[in-house]
Structure 1
Amino acid sequence: ADFGSLHYLWTGPPPSGETQQNVIFVLGGPGAGKGTQSELLMKEYPCRHLSVGELLRAERETNPTSPNAKLIEDCLVQGTIVPVEVSLNLVKQAMATSGKCCYYLVDGFPRNFDNLHGWLTHMPPQHIYGRAALVYQCQDFDILKERILTRGETSGRSDDNLASLQKRLDTLTRDTVPVVHFLNECANGGNGKFYLCQIAAEGTIAQVWTQTQSHINQIMRNDVLTANARLMQAIESQNIPLYASLMDSNMFVDSDTTTTTTTSNDTDAAVPSAASVDLDAMKKMFDQHETDGAKDANGGLLPSIGVVTNAEFQLVTGTKANVSYDHTFSGTQVRETRVWSHFPERGWVCIHFFRTPLLP
């Protein structure tokens, strides 16, 4: 898709219309850095890290007498794949108890086509829309060996040894690499909403992080520009429910003011949920700030958008972004900037906007 000459990947909402809990699969061989990079992502972006391996080990340790405990241990040691129903059940439980979030980093999944089919078949509808896959590739066996054996000195994991490493790499080549190839085809052709990120994982943590951050920033860029485009559609069509779902209803301290520079406090405090927004108040805000006074045949106010050009995107932090562009408002060429913030319950929400007249 394009917005004011900016090309991006449209990531619109699922058919259910629910707030989308986006899933980013994290794949790669043992020692490739999946867990390390996922923990770094959690510090700067609105993510939750769900390591399937850690969930399985926790299940084995906390329920040693359960029917799955021995099965999990055998699979971990032999480097084979745990049955999908066991893994998926643990992932669903973790999602249900991990708190509000819009980006889940599902680490170590899907490891084969059975995993992928199980996900698409059994996960709740709001979770099946896999947004992207981060694929960490390290072809240097000596690097993986050093990382695994070093980790094994303190991890206490039964699979952090040379024998298990080789078995896990064999499983990766046989079962997971074909899944990565399939996901790559989806990214290049499929529904146009999937983003595959190939990351060279041989370098230092900092070097790999630079690549990871570049890709995750692109994912955030796609989502913010999609939200901004949907907001423009809502304004043009005067779709107040959609407009309300993308705007902070507390944006204006005084709902009677017509000044677009008065905003709500730009903090991480929660904005009202979409369900609790007063649509009449949002309609009033829309009429005051998104129209130029012109009326249609029925006396209704007409929105003022015009052709959008010279768009620019800036990701300020992992949860803040700006989108700026030129267009016509009230017969004047203006530079409009929309400020977006990410909130767990609503995703990306416009918390502020302002317009600056352009000189002739």
Structure 2
Amino acid sequence: WFFVCLMVETLFFMQVVAENMLGDKKVTVVFVLGGPGSGKGTQCSNIVEHFGFTHLSAGDLLRAEIKSGSENGTMIENMIKEGKIVPSEVTIKLLQQAMIKNENDKFLIDGFPRNEENRAAFENVTKISPAFVLFFNCSEEEMERRLLGRNEGRVDDNIETIRKRFKVFVESSLPVIEYYDAKDKVKKIDAAKPIPEVFEDVKAIFAPYAKVIV
């Protein structure tokens, strides 16, 4: 009887998790893409404050896993140092866990998918297609200046790794943007402008998601 109860409880838990991700719960996902230093994180904070989204940064989730000291974290750290892309299943699992735990139904996913394989895997695993892609378009010169100007103690903020990350972005992430652009799902932002001006452009795009004050 104990094992029957345990099995029923486990199946119920699995069903609840599936419903959170795939079932009756309508989840709005916006992918936020742009080169390293294009200002994605800053603008995501503004969107959270003004439009009630939950911000899930793929990079932050990966860095938290590194800090946990797990074997998975060590593998992630080595790949980031080399400017490589972390395997899809690792990042998707972290994103999925974060979405399941959160009661909100509107998510900004920042810095993911980084390549076509990421994109296909995310849609296949979660059965979620983004409402749209917010693309922060910025020159490499400006992004490099910004990254070298900040001091956050991040292992990936040195000139050699920064340039590797630019190369990876151009080769891997631009095809994702082109894929969604063909579906008329890309909202392009001129991210080289000052932060307040960039947010004015962002606000115009997110107007349909404005918080309703009762």
TM range (shorter): 0.7 to 0.9
- The 2-side partners of 1:120 and 1:137 are apart by 24
Contact 1:78 1:168 survives alignment (8 Å): no
Distance in 1, matches of 2:173 and 2:155, equals 21
Quote the Cα distance in structure 1 between the aligned partners of 2:179 and 2:108: 19
CA displacement, residues 95-128 of structure 1 (integer Å, 9 cap, x when unaligned): 1223x212100001111011011111111x4xx0
Structure 2 counterpart of 1:10: none
The TM-score normalised by the length of structure 1 is 0.52
Partner residue in 2 for 1:47:
53
Distance in 1, matches of 2:192 and 2:130, equals: 26
5 Å-filtered alignment, 1:30-41, equals 30-41=36-47
Deviation, 1:19, is 3.1
Structure number with larger C-alpha Rg: 1
- How much has 1:74 moved relative to structure 2? 1.8
| Alignment equivalent of 1:163, drawn from 142, 157, 160 | 160
- Name the one with the larger helix percent: 2
The 1:93/1:17 distance shift into structure 2, 3 A limit, reads closer
**What are the equivalent positions in structure 2 for 1:9-158 lying under 5 Å apart?**
18-62=24-68, 64=69, 66-98=70-102, 100-123=103-126, 125=127, 128-139=128-139, 141-151=140-150, 153=151, 155-158=152-155
The whole-number CA distance in structure 1 between the counterparts of 2:79 and 2:206 is 31
Do 1:110 and 1:116's aligned partners in 2 also have CA atoms closer than 8 Å? yes
1:221-277 Cα deviation digits (max 9, x unpaired): xxxxxxxxxxxxxxxxxxxxxxxxxxxxxxxxxxxxxxxxxxxxxxxxxxxxxxxxx
Give distance in 1, aligned partners of 2:57 and 2:112.
Answer: 8
| Correspondence 1:232-271 to 2 at 5 A | none
Shift of residue 17 of structure 1?
Answer: 6.9
| Higher relative contact order (Cα pairs below 8 Å, separated by 6+ residues) | 2
Equivalence for 1:329 = none
Distance 1:42 1:161 in 2: 29
How large is the Cα RMSD of the aligned pairs? 1.6
- Percent identity between the two aligned chains: 33
**Equivalent pair of 1:25/1:130 in contact (CA under 8 Å):** yes
Q: How many residues were matched structurally?
A: 193
Distance 2:86 2:211 in 1: 35
Secondary structure of the equivalent of 2:80?
helix
Tell me how far apart the structure 2 counterparts of residues 17 and 149 of structure 1 sit (CA, whole Å): 44
Mapped partners of 2:200, 2:83: distance in 1: 30
**What residue number does 1:175 align with?**
172
Q: For residue 183 of structure 2, what is the amino acid of its counterpart?
A: C
**Structure 2 counterpart SS, 1:214:** helix
Aligned equivalent of 2:194, options 204, 209, 212: 204
How far is the alpha carbon of 1:178 from its aligned partner? 0.8
**Cα distance, 1:163 vs structure 2:** 1.0
Q: What amino acid is the match of 2:164?
A: K
| Structure 2: tracts of 5 or more residues without a match | 1-21
